[in-house]
């Protein structure tokens, strides 16, 4: 657990605007560190230092939309989640030219020149690639997602996400608390929330500035691991709740979410991201993810895979991580100083020499091509080579039998110094400067 000791100034941002478990998967296996046991199976781990997590995902257009209260105004793409400076949109190059931003519900999932949306297939191999990959051992890809959309099912694997309209739903008040005794850090020190009738963003969400923190939680939201009450008998786990507010193009991600009474929700971490901004979280801050990343933008989504094209990076977990982080990550966990272990946020990609079989399904080809072109970021402690995605009936059974045969030895770590050494690079921004 990485306890925060620095005192960070409170950032209050006016109404924003823009147009418009550790889950297990079909496969199993589980790991958790510092925040409860993994819910519904395996694959990811929670961690300390404010909040942390990992997971899979579910579709917004497939669930969890909501109606009722809220407001939005003042457009713009900066000042996301309390830290960093925003860099504009446009195209970027690094290992290639950005193909434009992915979109959900009319919102861009970050600008086109965000590092997550930038091809990295021609960047150099990291000098420590062999050592880093060796820590994955004999693992093969495990798709940390499932085909069941019923969150009351024992086979509900992945992290679902909800699309909401913050101007028409009634925002919910939450309490930062948990019956899980292992969650013993101060979750509000590195959290974001909203306050008041205008739902003003407050970061950090300290009790003095936000006595009644609010979030646009829809009725019956989709939650990783399913909806459960906050009682000692609950199975624990990351229990992420992801909400994309289509009225403001703002992403809200909550950690360790359980239902309760007065208020209706208990959580143990929260983060907000302006999806039109390249701003990163403040340095050393966690999110609902151990690396300080947003979760939704890196999830495998069935609609993208079925289209044959995934134009963004993915996320994965492994167990042996060094106690440091590298750009674009913002947070570290663990205590190991072993330099043969990768840091949090390390980028890996499928080797160019790996030949994707011609007979593979559209979904399988899309996933493997994305792993070559955009790569995957080390986002949390968990079972080796678990790649997170949404639970969706649209996933074909063949995607598991095909993609899960790829061994760790077909991956390599990527050296991002060609980007981070460019003129105009800002370590507090995810923007990729032109070469």
> Within the chain, how many helices (H) and strands (E) appear?
5, 21
* Predicted TM-score of the model (pTM): 0.82
With left for phi above 0 and alpha for psi between -120 and 50, is residue 337 left, alpha or beta?
alpha
Taking alpha carbons only, the member of 270, 369, 385, 261 closest to residue 313 is 369
Using a 10 angstrom Cβ sphere, with 0-12 exposed, 13-18 middle and 19 or more buried, the burial of residue 173 is: middle
Residue 125, beta-bridge partner list: 414
Token output for 420 = 């981070």
Cβ-contact 315, 159 below 8 angstroms: no
Using a 10 angstrom Cβ sphere, with 0-12 exposed, 13-18 middle and 19 or more buried, the burial of residue 14 is: exposed
Q: What is the pLDDT of residues 228-261, one digit of tens each?
A: 998 877 766 799 999 999 999 999 999 999 999 8
Cα–Cα distance measured from residue 200 to residue 272, given in angstroms and rounded to the nearest whole number: 12
In the predicted model, residues of the chain with pLDDT beneath 70 are: 1-98, 235-236
> Which pLDDT value is given to residue 98?
54
Cα–Cα distance measured from residue 117 to residue 312, given in angstroms and rounded to the nearest whole number: 5
**All residues at 6 or more sequence positions from 362 whose CB lies less than 8 Å from its CB, including other chains:** 305, 306, 307, 308
Cβ-contact 31, 42 below 8 angstroms: yes
Cα–Cα distance measured from residue 226 to residue 259, given in angstroms and rounded to the nearest whole number: 10
Cβ-contact 60, 162 below 8 angstroms: yes
> Which pLDDT value is given to residue 235?
66
How much is the CA Rg of the chain, to the nearest whole Å? 19
Residue 9: other Cβ atoms inside 10 A: 8
Q: What is the pLDDT of residues 147-194, one digit of tens each?
A: 999 999 999 999 999 999 999 999 999 999 988 888 888 999 999 999
Cα–Cα distance measured from residue 200 to residue 145, given in angstroms and rounded to the nearest whole number: 34
Q: Is the dihedral of CA 422, 428, 429, 430 positive or negative?
A: positive
> Which pLDDT value is given to residue 262?
84
> Which pLDDT value is given to residue 162?
99
């Amino acid at each position: 657990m990485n306890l925060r000791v620095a005192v960070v100034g409170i950032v209050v941002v006016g109404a924003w605007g823009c147009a418009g478990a550790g889950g297990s998967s079909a496969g199993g296996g589980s790991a958790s560190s510092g925040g409860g046991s993994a819910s519904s199976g395996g694959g990811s781990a929670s961690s300390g230092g404010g909040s942390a997590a990992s997971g899979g995902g579910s579709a917004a257009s497939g669930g969890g939309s909501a109606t009722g209260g809220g407001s939005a105004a003042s457009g713009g793409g900066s000042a996301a989640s309390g830290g960093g400076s925003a860099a504009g949109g446009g195209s970027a190059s690094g290992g290639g030219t950005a193909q434009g931003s992915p979109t959900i519900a009319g919102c861009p999932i970050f600008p086109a020149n965000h590092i997550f949306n930038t091809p990295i297939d021609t960047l150099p191999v990291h000098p420590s690639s062999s050592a880093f990959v060796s820590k994955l051992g004999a693992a093969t890809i495990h798709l940390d997602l499932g085909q069941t959309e019923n969150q009351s099912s024992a086979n509900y694997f992945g992290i679902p996400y909800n699309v909401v309209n913050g101007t028409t739903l009634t925002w919910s008040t939450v309490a930062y608390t948990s019956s899980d005794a292992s969650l013993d850090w101060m979750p509000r020190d590195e959290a974001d929330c909203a306050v008041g009738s205008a739902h003003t963003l407050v970061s950090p969400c300290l009790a003095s500035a936000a006595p009644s923190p609010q979030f646009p939680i829809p009725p019956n939201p989709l939650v990783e691991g399913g909806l459960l009450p906050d009682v000692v008998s609950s199975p624990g786990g990351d229990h992420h709740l992801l909400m994309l507010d289509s009225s403001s193009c703002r992403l809200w991600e909550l950690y360790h979410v359980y239902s309760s009474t007065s208020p209706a929700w208990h959580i143990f971490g929260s983060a907000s991201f302006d999806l039109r901004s390249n701003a990163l979280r403040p340095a050393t801050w966690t999110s609902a993810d151990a690396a300080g990343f947003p979760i939704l933008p890196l999830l495998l989504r069935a609609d993208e895979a079925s289209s044959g094209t995934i134009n963004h990076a993915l996320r994965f977990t492994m167990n042996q991580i060094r106690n440091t982080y590298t750009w674009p990550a913002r947070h570290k966990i663990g205590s190991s100083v072993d330099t043969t272990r990768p840091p949090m946020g390390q980028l890996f990609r499928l080797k160019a020499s790996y030949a994707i079989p011609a007979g593979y399904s559209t979904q399988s080809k899309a996933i493997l091509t994305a792993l070559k072109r955009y790569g995957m970021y080390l986002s949390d402690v968990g079972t080796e080579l678990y790649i997170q995605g949404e639970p969706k009936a649209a996933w074909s059974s063949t995607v598991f039998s095909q993609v899960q045969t790829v061994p760790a030895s077909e991956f390599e770590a990527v050296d991002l110094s060609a980007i981070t050494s460019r003129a105009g690079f800002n370590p507090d921004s995810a923007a990729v400067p032109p070469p």
